[in-house]
Amino acid sequence: MDLTVKTLAGGEAGQLSLNEGIFGLEPREDIVARVVRWQLAKRQQGTHQAKGRAEISRTGAKMYKQKGTGRARHSSARAPQFRGGGKAHGPVSRSHEHDLPKKVRALGLKHALSAKAKASNLIVIDDLAVQDAKTKALIANFAGLGLTNALVIGGAELDQNFARAASNIPNIDVLPIQGINVYDIMRRGTLVLSKSAVEALEERFK
């Protein structure tokens, strides 16, 4: 499939032929959802923790005598039914990660890229570089391209002026090609790739 390459100023910079095996697949929501779920589970901290009855610092003496009070038989004030007692079946620190085959992860990225291309939410820019780190000027460039909610993927090395200028713009994320991922692609409306990013993707999946 052919796509018009644009400049940051909004002009045209020729045509680019995109690999059908990466950008021309019929998007499968189930594969994309699996990869997003794997990503979100992997980044969960899992540091939530509640004390069980074995971890409560409280006397172990029997609360009152066994018989003759007319009350229920209790032995420990650490039991969950008492105020100050341990939590029954409370959360514990753990990892939420689960396995996902590498081939499925790679396929999920291809389907996410194809979904953006099919929805006409993919823009290729010849070079993501600016002379000065001026956010106001970059906002004007993005307005000319119709970008209000976008993920911008550059090459292996990001232009520092561009990255600094874009860092203050709401709903605009900038990543090097090494950081491209399914979740960030799907959470933003438009995907913007530099020519070097497209070349890196085609090299990665060839």
For the segment 105-123, the average pLDDT, to the nearest whole number, is: 96
Cα–Cα distance for residue pair 98/193, rounded to 1 Å: 30
Length of the chain: 206
The pLDDT assigned to 189 comes to 95
DSSP 42: H
- Cα–Cα distance list, 99 to 37, 48, 132 (Å): 11, 22, 44
Least confident range of 49-53, 57-61, 152-156:
57-61
CB 30 within 8 A of CB 111: no
For the segment 54-77, the average pLDDT, to the nearest whole number, is: 93
- Per-residue pLDDT band for 18 (boundaries 50, 70, 90) equals very high
DSSP 61: S
Indicate whether 60 pLDDT > 90: no
For residue 87, the tally of other CB atoms under 10 A from its CB is 15
Share of the chain above pLDDT 70, in %: 100
Q: What b-and-e string marks burial along 146-159, b requiring 16 or more CB atoms within 10 Å of the CB?
A: ebeebbbbbbeebb
- The tokens for 137 are 């000027």
- Per-residue pLDDT band for 30 (boundaries 50, 70, 90) equals very high
Compute the C-alpha angle 6/10/15, nearest 5°. 20
For the segment 192-201, the average pLDDT, to the nearest whole number, is: 95
The pLDDT assigned to 1 comes to 82
- Please provide the average confidence, as pLDDT, over all residues in the chain: 94
Indicate whether 9 pLDDT > 90: no
Indicate whether 206 pLDDT > 90: no
Cβ neighbours of residue 25 closer than 8 Å, sequence gap 6 or more: 110, 111, 114
Query: pTM of the prediction?
Result: 0.83
